[in-house]
Structure 1
Amino acid sequence: MARKKTLGFYSLDPSQHTVLEDSQGLLTGALVSGLGFYLLGRVGLLTGGTAGVAFLVHYAFNISFGLLFFIVNLPFYYLSFKRLGLAFSAKTFVAIGLVSVVTEIERRFLLIDYLHPFWGALMGGLLLGYGLLALYRHRASLGGVGILAIYIQEKFGIQAGLIQLAFDACVMAAAFLVLDWHVVIWSILGAVILNLFLAINHRSDRYIVVR
């Protein structure tokens, strides 16, 4: 028999979250992820997924990263709703919106005079990993490429991981047209750190993202 909530804001069932628990998870996940994006942006780096596309366009045309990140993810919401449900899609929409706002206002509260690309890649990748882990544990995400990969896997039998890897490889290859080669190398390091962190710390048999 499922245990009841306590005081209406804390769930004793580890597989369920209250609205307050989800709200703090989305907010803190967005804040930490936004800081990760801020560090990458301060040294001109990028990452994989839709955020990588947003960074590329941002660097090429000097358009707001936060606005681009929000717009780039718009086409994936329908797929998210069809494949993963309304709750996941709504929380993902909120998380992406929060990150977009945070990355735009971050510079008003934090100014870094010097940051080495290595440290930017290391800390940016780790912070994004922590932020995504918080969002995953509250059944939300920060991008649509993973959703698209799942759809293609179910439709055509191609492994989702390979699709994600191919997309990120294309983003990094395109980066050579916009950024210096050493910047792309640091960016790849940051992406590797992010994915290793998630691979080690997030397992579906320990904490289920979507139910």
Structure 2
Amino acid sequence: MLETKFYKSIMIILGLFLTAAGIKLLTVHSLTFGGTAGVATLGTFMTEWSWGILFLIVNLPFFVLSIKKLGWTFSLSTFLCILLISVISDLMDFVHFPTISPIIAAMIAGILIGIGVSFVLNSGASLGGIHILALYLEQKSDINRGVSLFVTDFIIVSSAVVMFGFKNAFISIIAITIASFLTGKLKSTTKTSTSVYVSGKTEPVRNN
């Protein structure tokens, strides 16, 4: 039991490092991503604040929603992951990322993020953000989480068109597509169940 928890903790930390590296690679090449990570990335170009600080701030409203609707256990593990990746991302500022072709950068970033997020999810944790809202809407109103994520990602990428131009926004979609594909393919073969509090009762959410 202890060994299993230790292994999952290592996989989560590794996943957070890979995800942070992927996001940093996108930022260096004026590319963005979906979800709250994308919102934070756009914010770095509009303010002097770091991605880590912005990511933490952007996720706070979703964290409050998570506490009220999805329960403390899920919310605390999610908050710890958000806090860790915020710190790791800021540490990435001291790492030199070479400038390469934006398309290649998007592909590499998509792979890093896809694998990193999969490590986190398969270990029973979450990076929160839009995923919390999507999960709540699916449980509360039977709105498919894929639809919610697509709509929010579309809005974020559309905003990137204004800031970075159509070309960079289109290239950003490459990273989102690869990451989404890998996240779907690299699901854990072991079924896990996480209890979330929805509408006054506890319900299991299964990762297949």
Gaps of 5+ in 1: 12-17
- Per mean C-alpha deviation after superposition, the further-off stretch among 82-91 and 63-72 is 82-91
TM-score of the superposed pair, with normalisation by structure 1: 0.84
> Which residue is equivalent to 2:194?
210
Matched with 2:198 is: none
Residue 127 (structure 1) aligns with: 112
Distance in 2 between residues matched to 1:52 and 1:107, nearest whole Å: 17
Comparing 76-85 and 114-123, the one that deviates more: 76-85
Once the two structures are TM-superposed, the CA of residue 113 in structure 1 deviates from its matched residue by 3.2
How many pairs does the alignment contain? 195
Deviations 1:56-95 (A, max 9, x none): 1111234211110111001111322344432322221111
- The CA distance in 1 between the partners of 2:186 and 2:8, in whole Å, is 20
Tell me which amino acid in the other structure corresponds to 1:89. Answer: S
Task: Give me the whole-angstrom Cα distance separating, in 2, the residues matched to 1:53 and 1:168.
Answer: 10
* Structure in which a larger fraction of residues adopt strand: 2
Per-residue deviation at 1:209?
A: 5.8
For 1:187, which of 172, 187, 195 is the aligned residue?
Answer: 172
Superposition pairs for residues 11-30 of structure 1, below 5 Å?
A: 11=4, 18=5, 20-30=6-16
**Higher Cα Rg, which structure:** 1
Supply the distance in 1 between the matched residues of 2:97 and 2:19 (Cα, whole angstroms): 17
Please tell me the root mean square deviation across aligned C-alpha atoms, in Å: 1.8
1:120-148 alpha-carbon deviations (Å, 9 max, x no partner): 11111111111111111221111321111
Partner amino acid, structure 2, of 1:88: F
CA distance in 1, matches of 2:129, 2:93: 26
Identity in percent: 31
- Partner of 2:158 in structure 1? 173
TM-score, normalising length: structure 2:
0.86
Change (3 A) 1:208 1:84: farther
Instruction: Give the letter for the 2:3 counterpart.
Output: Y
1:197 to 153, 157, 182: 182
Task: Indicate conservation of the 8 Å contact 1:137/1:209, yes or no.
Answer: no
Shift of 1:208: 2.5
1:153 aligned onto 2:138: yes
Matches within 5 A, 1:76-95: 76-95=62-81
Measured in 1, the distance between the counterparts of 2:45 and 2:178 equals 22
Alignment CA distance shift 1:172-1:209 (3 Å)? farther
1:136 to 81, 96, 121: 121
